[in-house]
Structure 1
Amino acid sequence: MPAQIPIDPDRRPGRGAGSNDVGRFERFQREPIADSWDGDESLPVVRTEVREERPRSVITYNRSPDLPFDRSINPYRGCEHGCIYCFARPSHAYLGLSPGLDFETRLVARPGAAEVLASELRRPSYKVAPIAIGTNTDPYQPVERDMEVTRSCLQVLREFRHPVAVVTKGTLIERDIDILSDMARDGLVRVGISVTTLDSVLSRRMEPRVPSPKRRLAVIRRLADAGVPVRIMTSPIVPGLSDTEIEALLRAGRDAGASAASWIMLRLPREVSPLFQRWLAEHYPDRAGRVMARLREMHGGKEYDARWGRRMRGEGVYAEMIANRFALAAKRLGLDKPQPALRCDLFRVPKRAGDQLDLFG
């Protein structure tokens, strides 16, 4: 495991990463040092900082055969939820920031995203297809309470009658039930709620600023009661830590109102692997060897295999066992059926003030 510069736990309460090493593109390592001008040798507690970015484009396209969508929107860069396993952490390196604590504390909000989105949807060349929100970082992390970037994007999508799939762990999505229920009536939205474990202690350690498992199940209930199709996402499944909970998670999701379910195996791309291994050594030293052995077993001896068709599930005896357990439990609970396809035939470009009226409208 690559050497890392540890950060005192007292400086990072409620954070997932235990270090803040620079990303893979940086030539030099950084280490904070107290200047001691006031005689205090201690360093301050790490706080969350938010800066704004004015995007030139919002819709990101992909051609991955592993994903059920070809376009997405990410209202934020970085995520204060601090999930130690987050596969999006390496993206912070493109900003010259650390995939460690920087990813959780130095966030980028995109408050002009809704206006740019509307402009992109108005282009004559635009072809409608479902947009995914929350595929990289959580659109309902705490900063959304004040910034409302996600809500403003949903308002635009509702106005255009554009289909959208939302993924989150955050309870702030309940605030937007007014928009989501409107869109659900027209078959324009579905939501995935990630519940990784029912163990509140494991959850608090592994995803320190995420609402409790019980609270997330309550979100599923509120959305389902409002007519919004909800899928429980048991992702990621962590070998040796949460893999025993598959059946219980699906049952809890079904009882809360979920109509479908999905799963992904733990992924440790690039900088995520050393961060996760340090976390294991700190919180579960007795299980660290077993967890990493299972992961290497599924990836041909490596900690991660980025090849399409393998990166989400792994391969081998253990991966097949998890897949079979999930499939059997989902079938038994009635969660194995695909959700209805989102409608694309209702899409329209709304008139703006000053637009020329349609001669035959």
Structure 2
Amino acid sequence: MFNNSKIKGRGAQLNTHNCFFELSHELRDDFLEYCEKEGEQADKNKTQYLEVFPKTIINKVTSPDVGMAFSMNMYQGCEHGCIYCYARNSHEFWGYSAGLDFERRILVKKKAPELLEQFLKKKTWKAQPIVMSGNTDCYQPAEQHFKITRQCLKVFLKYKHPVAIITKNSLILRDLDLLKALAKDHLISVNISITSLSETTRRILEPRTTTIKKRLETVKVLSDNKIPVNVMLAPLIPSINSHEVLPLAKAVSEAGALSIAHTIVRLNGAIGEIFKDWIKKTLPDRADKVLHQIENCHGGHLNDSRFGTRMRGEGQIAKQINDLVKLAKHKYFKDKTMPKLNTSLHDVYKEGQLKLF
């Protein structure tokens, strides 16, 4: 059963307490009752874009199990509203909640292209792939207005530097001209996140994301233009989308994807509270079942922070999911592989053009 009595267009249905703050903010029942009587809105549910001014844009990734060494994020917070998003907790570092604030208060780094260019010109820097969206989606709705991601791609192309992209938005096709130019020198790879083939599931898990049809079309267009695509089946959630592994793998392989990757959902930090509140309001008939099965994957807890096991889980349910993914890879990707990005060109383009001497 699906419950419609929820905040429309949002994943989280509440603002959790920021663990770094002594004080907390809450909407009291008497205030909500007053607003109802007065015909006023207690919460206007509007998105705010707030400019921030970081001194650097490239982050060194020290976690050994995330598959990247360096990342950059043009935006903090994400309007996509994916209920399971691990990045929600990072919004607390900025003084906001991991809940609704994460989806409605988007921090914008307009100076990102300049900071990136400064970094790539460092004499001490040796080219390694930099991942755009190690935290939040670089093609989220804010990008339509600010175009920061497009500006950064121009910088990567200018300096012939390898870049990888993680997104679930078809807006990436707007920049097909730059992606094709990067692909000529093997400087680009794209990771498209597709968590379900069901639009109903997509809408409740990821309320402001591109449709599944559009995402599959995006995989095909990129692949047809010789841009290598990996599809992230992530996260896989028991009794919500875990049964879709094989049909998902088949669909993305037929669309041209060269590989798939997956994680099993883990609800770290404030996300546990956000997810529990969401599922009891959204899928009340199966809430307890799903929560217990997630716990079964993580030693009786909703979260596991141990490197090596946190992404794959453990126990019988996790084993079944992981075995399904192995079967899917063997069945649909046996003769496919993602190429390595080219790190050999950047050094001679440090000044923005090929050195002649």
> TM-score range, shorter-chain basis?
over 0.9
Q: Supply the AA of the counterpart residue of 1:21.
A: T
Q: Which residue in the other structure is 1:73 paired with?
A: 72
* 8 Å CA contact retained: 2:158, 2:352: no
Q: Which residue in the other structure is 2:13 paired with?
A: 18
Q: Which residue in the other structure is 1:270 paired with?
A: 269
Q: Distance in 2 between the 1:259 and 1:184 partners?
A: 15
* 8 Å CA contact retained: 2:264, 2:313: yes
Moved over 3 A (4+): 32-36, 38-42, 335-338, 348-353
Deviation at 1:257, TM superposition (A): 1.2
Q: Which residue in the other structure is 1:208 paired with?
A: 207
Deviation at 1:45, TM superposition (A): 2.2
Q: Distance in 1 between the 2:274 and 2:306 partners?
A: 22
Q: Supply the AA of the counterpart residue of 2:106.
A: L
- Comparing 191-200 and 64-73, the one that deviates more: 64-73
Q: Distance in 1 between the 2:110 and 2:335 partners?
A: 38
Deviation at 1:167, TM superposition (A): 0.6
The number of equivalent residue pairs is 348
Q: Which residue in the other structure is 1:91 paired with?
A: 90
Q: Distance in 1 between the 2:309 and 2:44 partners?
A: 40
Q: 1:186-215 CA deviation, whole Å, 9 max, x = no partner?
A: 111110111101110111011000011111
Q: Distance in 1 between the 2:64 and 2:16 partners?
A: 32
* 8 Å CA contact retained: 2:223, 2:229: yes
Structure 1, unaligned runs of 5 or more: 1-7
* 8 Å CA contact retained: 2:159, 2:352: no
* 8 Å CA contact retained: 1:78, 1:104: yes
Return the structure number with greater relative CO, CA threshold 8 A, min gap 6: 2
In structure 2, the CA distance between the partners of 1:58 and 1:304, relative to structure 1 (3 Å rule), is same
Q: Distance in 2 between the 1:21 and 1:303 partners?
A: 17
Deviation at 1:291, TM superposition (A): 1.3
Q: Distance in 1 between the 2:72 and 2:335 partners?
A: 27
Deviation at 1:40, TM superposition (A): 3.5
Q: Supply the AA of the counterpart residue of 2:351.
A: K
Q: Which residue in the other structure is 1:351 paired with?
A: 351
Q: Which residue in the other structure is 1:173 paired with?
A: 172
Report matched runs for 1:237-256 at 5 Å: 237-256=236-255
* 8 Å CA contact retained: 1:53, 1:110: yes
Q: Distance in 1 between the 2:267 and 2:117 partners?
A: 35
Between the aligned residues of both structures, percent identity stands at: 37
Q: Supply the AA of the counterpart residue of 1:24.
A: C
Deviation at 1:295, TM superposition (A): 1.6
Classify the secondary structure of the residue corresponding to 2:102: helix
Deviation at 1:350, TM superposition (A): 4.4
Structure 2, unaligned runs of 5 or more: none
Aligned-residue CA RMSD in angstroms?
Answer: 2.0
Q: Distance in 2 between the 1:336 and 1:299 partners?
A: 33
Q: 1:223-244 CA deviation, whole Å, 9 max, x = no partner?
A: 1111111111111101111011
* 8 Å CA contact retained: 1:261, 1:335: no
* 8 Å CA contact retained: 1:259, 1:335: no
Q: TM-score, normalised by structure 1?
A: 0.92
Q: Which residue in the other structure is 1:124 paired with?
A: 123
* 8 Å CA contact retained: 2:16, 2:270: no
Q: Which residue in the other structure is 1:298 paired with?
A: 297
* 8 Å CA contact retained: 1:254, 1:335: no
Deviation at 1:352, TM superposition (A): 6.2
